[in-house]
Amino acid sequence: MADVVVVGAGQAGAALVAKLRNDGYDSPVTLIGDEPVPPYQRPPLSKKYLLGDMALERLYLRPESYYAEAEIDLRTGTRVTGIDRAAQEVVMGTERLGYEHLVLATGSLPRRLPDAIGGDLGGVHVVRTLADVDAMAPGFQRGAKVLIVGGGYIGLEAAAVAASRGMQVVLVEMAERILQRVAAKETSDYFRALHARHGVDIREGVGLEHLLGDGHVSGARLSDGSEMDVDMVIVGVGIVPDTGLAEAAGLETCNGIAVDAQGRTSDPAIWAVGDCASFPHRGGRLRLESVPNAIDMGDCVAGNIMGRAQVYVPQPWFWSDQYDVKLQIAGLSTGYDRIVTRDGGAAVSFWYYRGDQLLAVDAMNDPRAYMVGKRLIDAGKSADPAVVADAGADLKPLLKS
Ligand SMILES: Cc1cc2nc3c(=O)[nH]c(=O)nc-3n(C[C@H](O)[C@H](O)[C@H](O)COP(=O)(O)OP(=O)(O)OC[C@H]3O[C@@H](n4cnc5c(N)ncnc54)[C@H](O)[C@@H]3O)c2cc1C
């Protein structure tokens, strides 16, 4: 019997077990993950690691030796296949392990292309795990033709790496514009122009109809009727929360494993954290797909397992690296009705408002705008649009108002 069993040795699970130990929790803790490696950070998978600029060990969240030293029983390469809620045990094939507290930190699964349109051909990749990226790395050859399906952050980051490696890159986005689901038109325009300068052929309002090839992908037919030769396909069409275990165990789900304000599922002995969990937020439910959310929720639930009864209040932020541009995003832009642009040349930021209320900031190579925006948003404050729009005006005084 372990007091705390965590299923999913990713960003959230790793944060939670470390927080338990840091805060003096001294009962048995087991962290179970089905990947063959210790917990690692995913963001570099579509950035520096894919580019070949980062060694494997630097991906690891902590040195491998940490887990034994902290008396965390880390079981890699181990898949939890079921939960016996009545017995309070997780099932791993023929083995069972009892728990007092079970934490589901199962993350999310990438959407794949259906086999019927060629999704099962060789050379078709998703970008979720280290194994995914290691499998596509040999195809990153100068001059090779890559088709990227999906113009969200993952697709755009993969496009940036491929272009930087001298590949011929076509990116198709079915929606009217890239980043449509997550950002304003101004941000889409900024990144479209950035990619165009690096030779990426972005086609918006165009979907993939069918991949062609015999065993390995060799071409693609697009929804505008055009056909192209292709050596490799990278699919970045979103993710779905991994709720399979929770659903099979009869836990409530709602765009993710439904948890209460403290992170508890519909079974009081089971918690959920990170990408897989949807939590109460402003009268509805929210599920975030980001490192900060995974860490903060992991920390919060670790505290609650120790009896602190904390409410999880997200302070959303995100980042993306493409070429020499660092995008930093503070807040959630949902519901905005206008954008204020602060254009300082190399440093540009777009500020999202609903009425007079500042909701979010997208800052490109502008850490100061990001920092000021984030502090204002976290404090529930706004910013005078006239000051924001004047790139010569100092933003810091906004923090004092
Ligand atoms: C390529 C890429 C780039 C990203 N870039 C950014 C970025 O720039 N900024 C940012 O904030 N976020 C980024 N993200 C998102 C961020 O990495 C995720 O939000 C974060 O990893 C979520 O953490 P998690 O612990 O919830 O899930 P994960 O890190 O996915 O971990 C879940 C783990 O659980 C395992 N698991 C699932 N089911 C079982 C089971 N039954 N038994 C055992 N193990 C199981 C999975 O295999 C996985 O290892 C990126 C993600 C990807 C893939």
> What are the structural domains, with CATH classification, of the chain?
2-109+239-305 (3.50.50.60), 112-235 (3.50.50.60), 324-400 (3.30.390.30)
**What does each C-alpha distance from 199 to 60, 160, 195 come to in angstroms?**
33, 10, 6
Residues 62-87: b if buried by 16+ CB within 10 A, e if exposed: beeebbeeeebebbbebebeebeeee
6 C-beta closer than 6 A to ligand 1: no
8 C-beta closer than 6 A to ligand 1: yes
pLDDT per position as a tens digit, 342-400? 999 999 999 999 999 999 999 999 999 999 999 999 999 999 999 999 999 999 999 98
Average pLDDT of the segment spanning 170-199: 98
Give the pLDDT band (50/70/90) at residue 258.
Answer: very high
List all residues 6 or more positions away from 312 whose beta carbon is below 8 Å from its beta carbon. 261, 262, 263, 279, 296, 297, 300, 301
The DSSP letter of residue 52 is T
pLDDT per position as a tens digit, 234-243? 999 999 999 9
List all residues 6 or more positions away from 243 whose beta carbon is below 8 Å from its beta carbon. 106, 253, 256, 257, 276
Query: Which atom of ligand 1 is found nearest the CA of 293?
Result: 19
Tell me the two tokens of residue 309: 């009864």
Probe ligand 1: pick from 92, 106, 237, 273, max atoms within 8 Å of CB?
106
pTM assigned to the model:
0.97
